[in-house]
Amino acid sequence: MPKYKIMFSKTGMARFISHLDLLRIFERAFRRADLPMAFSQGFNPHPKMSIAAPLAVGIEGKQELLEIELTGKMEENEITRRLNSSLPAGVEVLGVKQAQGTKPLMAMVKRAVYSFECMPGKEIKQQQVEQAVSSLLNEDYIIVKRSVKGRVKEVDIRPGILSLEGKLTNGEIIIKAEVKSGSEGNVRPEEIKAELEKAGIPLGAGCKIYRLGLYGDEKGKRIDLW
């Protein structure tokens, strides 16, 4: 049965929708759009659909990926059109492509690019931003604490930070980070934010965080999943 990749965005108030709720929203949108989802076998059939990488509540996703199996082939533009007239405010399909190969998207996601737009709590200079960024990059290791199933674990996120840039535009701090994503070496955006604050730049409470895109990795090089 044909598999499709769907690129979508989750912006505005919709960024407060959780991962599981988003899956439900898509399932319902497919049904409203009368798109024939393929279901798993067994006692409790569910649609063969997966979101490539969960996005934390509160972060806007600019180019998120979802994969779904349909029971029959359909024209890609038609899928886009129908979904976009069936999705709630803030969730929008940007494109649909038939998926090639058998490897699930979820297993192919290795990198994510995030950006942060923050109004600092106090006056700040471009130089301070640059210094904080380079001091982080100069570290050999950056240990963060994560609680996994109720137990606190220490993780070195330095190897997971692939690139980090920062600048000041009209008093607003803009950070761009490319980090490892997925099952190996995953780095969370709020960890980057916390480390930058430790390094001396006050990002402030009202930071807006975006995930700009998801990518694969082949021998240390970023590859497009689209």
Partner 1 sequence: MQQKLEKLLPYVQKPARYAGGEWNSIKKEWNSVKVRMAFAFPDVYEVGMSYLGLQILYNLVNQREDALMERTFAPWVDMETIMRREKVPLFTLESHRPVKDFDILAFTLQYEMTFTNILNMLDLAGLPLESACRDEKMPLVIAGGPCAFNPEPLADFIDLFVLGEGEEVLNEIIDTYIEAKEKNLSRRELLFKLAGLEGIYVPSFYQVEYHGNGKIKSVSPKYPGVPPVVNKRVLKDMNKAPFPTHSIVPSLGAVHDRVMLEVQRGCTRGCRFCQAGVLYRPVREKEPEILLKQAEELVKNTGYNEISLTSLSTADYSKVRPLIKALLDEHSQKGVNVSLPSLRVDAFSVDMAKEVQRVRRSTLTFAPEAGTQRLRDVINKGVTEENLIKAVTAAFAAGWHSIKLYFMIGLPTETYEDLDGIANLARAVVKAGLEQGVSRRRLKVTVSASSFVPKSHTPFQWEPQDKLEELRNKQKYLKEKLKDKYIVFNYHDSKVSFLEAALSRGDRRLGPVLKQAFEIGCRFDGWDECFKYEKWLEAFEGTGITPQWYAYQRYDYDDILPWDHINTGVSKRYLILEHKKAVKEEVTADCRSGRCPGCGLCPSLDIKPLVLGGEDHAQI
Which positions touch partner 1 (CB under 8 A)? 12-14, 16-18, 20-21, 24-25, 27-32, 37, 39, 43-45, 47, 57-58, 86-90, 205-206, 208
Look at the block and give the residue holding tokens 């803009």: 174
**Spatial separation of the C-alpha atoms in residues 121 and 1, rounded to whole Å:** 53
Give me the least distance between CB of 201 and partner 1, in Å please.
Answer: 19
Q: Please say which residue, 17 or 133, places its beta carbon nearer to partner 1.
A: 17
Q: Which is nearer to partner 1, 108 or 209 (CB)?
A: 209
- Nearest-approach distance from CB 89 to partner 1, in angstroms: 4
Q: How far is the CB of 58 from partner 1 (least distance, A)?
A: 4
Of the candidates 79, 105, 3, the one whose C-alpha atom is nearest the C-alpha of residue 48 is 3
Classify the C-alpha dihedral 24-78-73-100 as positive or negative.
negative
Beta bridge partners of 165: 176
* Between 76 and 190, CB nearer to partner 1: 190
CB 138 to partner 1: min, Å: 30
Nearer to partner 1, 2 or 12 (CB): 12
CB under 8 Å to 220, separation ≥6 — which residues?
none
Smallest gap from Cβ 207 to partner 1, in A, equals 8
- Min CB(39)–partner 1 separation in Å: 6
**Alpha carbons 81 and 33: distance in angstroms, whole number:** 9
- Which spans in the chain are helix H? 19-32, 76-84, 105-108, 126-138, 189-198
Give the residue with the Cβ less far from partner 1, 12 or 159. 12
Interhelix angle 126-138/189-198, rounded to 10 degrees, is 110
Q: Which is nearer to partner 1, 27 or 130 (CB)?
A: 27
Residue among 175, 190, 177, 111 nearest 144 (CA): 190
